[in-house]
Amino acid sequence: MNSILSFLPHINWPVLQHDALGLLIAAGLGGLIGLERELKRRPAGLRTHMFICFGAAMFTILSTELAGVFGGGDHTRIAAQIIPGIGFIGAGSILHARFGGVTGLTTAATVFVVASIGMACGGGFYGLAAFASGLIFIALRVLGALEQRFSLKSLVMNYSVMSEQPASDLVTAAHSLLEEQGKELRGLHLSRPEGKQRLLFSVDGTRGEHKELMDALRRSDLLKNFEVKTGAETE
């Protein structure tokens, strides 16, 4: 082993070990948060969060090391570019649903936070990185469960109404009913399959609000013949 190391006199082994430890911790913490996203089938999952955290740590280490090697440079120059770069990745995880609504906002936020955790690991602040990772993981799991438990999570439901009544009457009835429920009708579409009128629209609301809307539709003479499909869940 000593003979091998003798051929590499320029390597600072204590620094290498310190930096390698930071990269390993960054990969582990990023993977922890990514696992939670992966289990929920989100756009950015385990590998994405792990790579982002690892990359942010790597760039932070390089920013410091290169500035030291080339003498008196700005130690934050490279690291400062991580933030706008992560913004592009986060924007890519935000999706617009077909009938309205936006998904991926929470995933985009976790991507941003994971990058900051990676920077903390690259800077040697392992305790801070571990605390932030634990806090984010608990927030994603516990707050997500509370949102489901108390029906706080908003999701888009797609409604399809079939009727032999004129299209104008169906549209008027749908607008009036949704106005009474305090909801906005999105993605209105009319078609005429098999000689009947089909009214398609989507509504954004909690599960409790959708239940009230469906009860109101069942009481309507014009809109009682309907079907519902679950759309995108708003993060």
Write the class of the CATH domain 155-233: alpha beta
Q: Using the predicted structure, report yes or no on whether residue 146 has a pLDDT greater than 70.
A: yes
Question: What are the tens digits of pLDDT across the range 150-178?
Answer: 777 778 888 999 998 888 889 999 999 99
The pLDDT mean for the chain works out to 84
Q: Using the predicted structure, report yes or no on whether residue 38 has a pLDDT greater than 80.
A: yes
pLDDT value of position 232: 59
Cα gap 28→54, rounded to integer Å: 9
pLDDT band at 226 (very low <50, low <70, confident <90, very high): very high
**CB within 8 A of 99, min separation 6: which ones?**
156, 158, 186, 187, 201, 202, 231
Averaged pLDDT for residues 32-57: 89
Report percent pLDDT > 90 for the chain. 35
Q: Which range is least confidently modeled, 50-54, 133-137, 187-191?
A: 187-191
pLDDT band at 187 (very low <50, low <70, confident <90, very high): confident
**CB within 8 A of 201, min separation 6: which ones?**
99, 158, 159, 174, 185, 186, 187, 188, 189
pLDDT band at 69 (very low <50, low <70, confident <90, very high): low
* Domain definitions of the chain by residue range: 10-149, 155-233
pLDDT value of position 151: 73
Q: Which range is least confidently modeled, 2-11, 38-47, 73-82?
A: 2-11
Q: What angle do CA 41, 44, 48 make, to 5 degrees?
A: 130
Question: What are the tens digits of pLDDT across the range 92-127?
Answer: 777 655 545 567 788 889 999 999 999 999 999 999
Answer yes or no: are the C-beta atoms of 184 and 233 closer than 8 Å.
no
Q: What residues are paired with 125 via a beta bridge?
A: none
pLDDT value of position 154: 79
Averaged pLDDT for residues 42-50: 87
Q: Using the predicted structure, report yes or no on whether residue 24 has a pLDDT greater than 60.
A: yes
pLDDT value of position 66: 79
3-state DSSP percent of the chain in helix, strand and coil, to 5:
60, 15, 25
